[in-house]
């Protein structure tokens, strides 16, 4: 099973992003970009690749510990961009950031990656540094033209609380990946006050 851990988006937030995306997507050539359907939007915390059923059970146990130690997260939408870089666009995304300097989101992502190190023996930390985002479109197999991000409508100011994380199975199909939720873990940790050095 191809597995990953992610935060879901509240339905109201998905609806608000959709309103912006209906305008923004017209700046992306439909012959070059494949939009991701809104019901597949999420914030990936860690991707594990192929995992056996036995390892998946162990992984779920460790993810429960991660969630139990994490407080509910206060998040906000934070701009948009392309990955990996402007000259080689492959993914168009909307950024996500904590609503304050609280590092709980990065701590949770690190815990989820370490769960993979131990149970799946997949060194997820060797992936790119964690950057919370929502993938909105992917390039259609060939290099798209450079995208003028300044021409897009402003990303709306949205904030919400993420109070759980999920373990998903990713199933590849001709029209894109399909996701099936395997487990859901509530974030119950107490919020810690962190001092930010100026």
CATH code: domain 2-186 is: 3.90.1140.10
Question: For the chain, what are the domain ranges?
Answer: 2-186
Per-residue model confidence as pLDDT tens for the chain (198 residues):
899 999 999 999 999 999 999 999 998 888 888 999 999 999 999 999 889 888 999 999 999 999 999 999 999 999 999 887 766 778 999 999 998 888 999 999 999 999 988 777 666 645 668 899 999 999 887 666 677 888 999 999 999 999 999 999 999 877 777 899 999 999 998 655 433 333
Q: What is the pTM of this model?
A: 0.88
Q: Are 69 and 62 in contact (CB under 8 A)?
A: no
Closest to 73 measured CA to CA, from 41, 51, 48, 45:
45
């Amino acid at each position: 099973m191809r597995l990953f851990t992610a935060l879901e988006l509240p339905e109201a937030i998905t609806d608000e992003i959709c309103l912006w995306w209906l305008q923004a997507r017209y700046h992306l050539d439909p012959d070059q970009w494949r939009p991701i359907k809104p019901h597949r939007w999420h914030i990936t915390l860690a991707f594990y690749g192929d995992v056996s059923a036995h390892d998946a059970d162990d992984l779920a146990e460790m993810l429960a510990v991660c969630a139990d130690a994490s407080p509910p997260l206060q998040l906000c939408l934070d701009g948009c961009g392309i990955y990996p870089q402007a000259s080689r666009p492959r993914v168009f995304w909307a950024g996500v950031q904590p609503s304050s300097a609280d590092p709980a989101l990065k701590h949770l992502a690190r815990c989820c990656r370490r769960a993979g190190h131990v149970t799946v023996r997949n060194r997820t930390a060797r992936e790119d540094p964690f950057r919370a985002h929502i993938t909105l479109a992917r390039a259609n197999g060939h290099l798209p033209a450079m995208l003028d991000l300044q021409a897009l409508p402003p990303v709306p100011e949205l904030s919400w609380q993420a109070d759980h994380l999920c373990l998903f199975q990713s199933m590849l199909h001709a029209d894109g990946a399909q996701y099936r939720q395997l487990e859901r873990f509530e974030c119950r940790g107490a919020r810690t006050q962190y001092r930010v050095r100026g």
